[in-house]
Structure 1
């Protein structure tokens, strides 16, 4: 906690981390990167007045102008997004994007909650209310969290590059998957304690994804690793399953409330079905993402309830209490 002030820690703990808590949305970031480029293409001249005001109030660096315009264009896109789950993931992506672009300015005075609050408020003053659109998904990411998200992003970027058809050489493809595995292996030490459980659970999902295509990997890249060490303790699987079930229930409730809200305005939208049907438009390797996660969830559930038999009620309650109050 020495690296940032107490108020920044409180904001981080109860705002950003709650929405990033399993880092699950990061595996979709490479897909959103492409969408971001398409949505914001040609936006440079559309937000000249707004971005001049935002930049003069916060940054004073005209090199940020194109980024400012792109952020405004993507916020407009999010304002029209009716799929609440997809919107939440896109907001997480935008937050990572904003934090990354601000870091490129290499100004240490921007690395704090106060600057981001001012930055977000200037967008609100110019009709682009990030807090309203993205709820708690927008704000300053401390360096440790940003780096973890960045590593997951790079892991999946290279993973999808290996999977998707392209004109890249076999050597290039093997370099992609090797880079993903190397990044994964670098976090063995990160996951040796109980501090980074949510991040390590996201890493373990990549391990599952990797092992699901191991035949394809070893055929193309004979020197590739044939197995990856799991960073999740067997006794923790039960907790993660319960968390995922709770998250699914919350998401279903959000969708139900959104349907009611839209229905009150005379609009009929089946958000859940609409959100799921989009996978049919994606390349096979990406479209399989949802079904693969479902398969992993089922197999994980089986392991989980077996593990729960050996967990005492006392230890489980102690873990839950610890998680709530740390």
Structure 2
């Protein structure tokens, strides 16, 4: 009986150990999968530098033959959606459908440019939907676009973004990076028209960099910080920054108070400033002398100005008298010492 009881306890122990090992392995695999997914997504930050080019392609509203836009009509499968109806214009719907069709035509899952296409379309939709309070429907709409343009339901196109929604924090980070890249583009291409001045682009870029740099103080190994470092290097390599803008707030990134640029002052204004300063320095003593010497009809005898000037002059006179007394005393002491020396010398001479 004891043997049976012992065998039961041993069997339970073995089962518990196996369950524990299975749980540990399961948790380990989950951690590996989690970190893999995180690294896969956060590497997408590197794709933001391509966003401007993809935005140009999306905004080019060229039609494609055999592409059916009826889905964007108010009665279509997209336009009639109760969550989207009235909050996403027919024109923007057509742009999204057209861009999805272009992605499908050139898609290569191993190509960074294709990945950037997928990422930008999702970002653009999220931004548009967010402004209308329907960002929670971005993922389903994104999937529907590829189902429309692809004969096999688009199962193999941009899969990652169909299954992994962008969080609000990541969206903000991507927006900041995109805006900095946009500013750098306008700075490096002065002939490209922009709604902002070049000075605004420079100062906005440096200001956004400084704000986002704080996120990297505790974790500077993230992909976001790596991209931020690339932006810093591109900014610091801009030639003749002060020729582009004469009130740049930050010449080099990272910007510190002692690194800020002193504003350029033309030589003419510098020479004018020095001339004015010299004239003022010469006028003040002369003016004080005139005020003191003139029989002041406009100044009462006991006025504050007159009393103050007399006080200063009297103080100078007292100092001069003290200097004279000290000097006379020193002369007297020297004479006295010399006379004693002469007497002693004379006495020695007589004894000899």
2:180 corresponds to:
155
1:247 corresponds to:
none
Distance 1:94 1:167, change over 3 A: closer
2:156 corresponds to:
132
2:191 corresponds to:
166
> Do residues 56 (structure 1) and 83 (structure 2) align?
no
**How far apart in 2 are the matches of 1:210 and 1:90?**
25
Distance 1:120 1:172, change over 3 A: closer
**How far apart in 2 are the matches of 1:63 and 1:47?**
21
Distance 1:41 1:216, change over 3 A: farther
- Measured after TM superposition, the shift of residue 95 of structure 1 is 1.5
- Measured after TM superposition, the shift of residue 17 of structure 1 is 5.8
- Measured after TM superposition, the shift of residue 153 of structure 1 is 0.6
Does the Cα contact within 8 Å between 2:100 and 2:145 map onto a contact in 1? no
- Measured after TM superposition, the shift of residue 222 of structure 1 is 3.8
Select the structure with the greater relative contact order (CA < 8 A; seq sep ≥ 6).
1
1:211 corresponds to:
236
> Do residues 221 (structure 1) and 237 (structure 2) align?
no
TM-score, normalising length: structure 1: 0.56
**How far apart in 2 are the matches of 1:25 and 1:49?**
32
- Measured after TM superposition, the shift of residue 67 of structure 1 is 2.2
Distance 1:203 1:42, change over 3 A: same
> Do residues 105 (structure 1) and 126 (structure 2) align?
no
SS at match of 1:144: helix
> Do residues 23 (structure 1) and 23 (structure 2) align?
no
1:200 corresponds to:
225
**How far apart in 2 are the matches of 1:66 and 1:196?**
41
Residues paired across the two proteins, number: 212
Q: Which runs of 5+ in 1 are unaligned?
A: 1-10, 231-326
> Do residues 176 (structure 1) and 201 (structure 2) align?
yes
Q: Write the mapping of 1:1-326 to structure 2, written as runs, cut at 5 A.
A: 18-21=40-43, 23-38=45-60, 40-41=61-62, 47-51=68-72, 52-57=76-81, 59-64=83-88, 65-81=90-106, 84-107=111-134, 110-111=135-136, 115-128=137-150, 129=153, 132-138=156-162, 139-166=164-191, 172-194=197-219, 197-213=222-238, 215-224=239-248, 225-229=250-254
SS at match of 2:212: coil
- Measured after TM superposition, the shift of residue 28 of structure 1 is 1.6
1:8 corresponds to:
none
Does the Cα contact within 8 Å between 1:57 and 1:122 map onto a contact in 2? no
**How far apart in 1 are the matches of 2:35 and 2:80?**
31
- Measured after TM superposition, the shift of residue 116 of structure 1 is 4.0
Distance 1:47 1:140, change over 3 A: farther
- Measured after TM superposition, the shift of residue 168 of structure 1 is 5.8
**How far apart in 2 are the matches of 1:54 and 1:167?**
36
TM-score, normalising length: structure 2: 0.52
Q: Which runs of 5+ in 2 are unaligned?
A: 1-32, 256-352
Distance 1:103 1:196, change over 3 A: farther
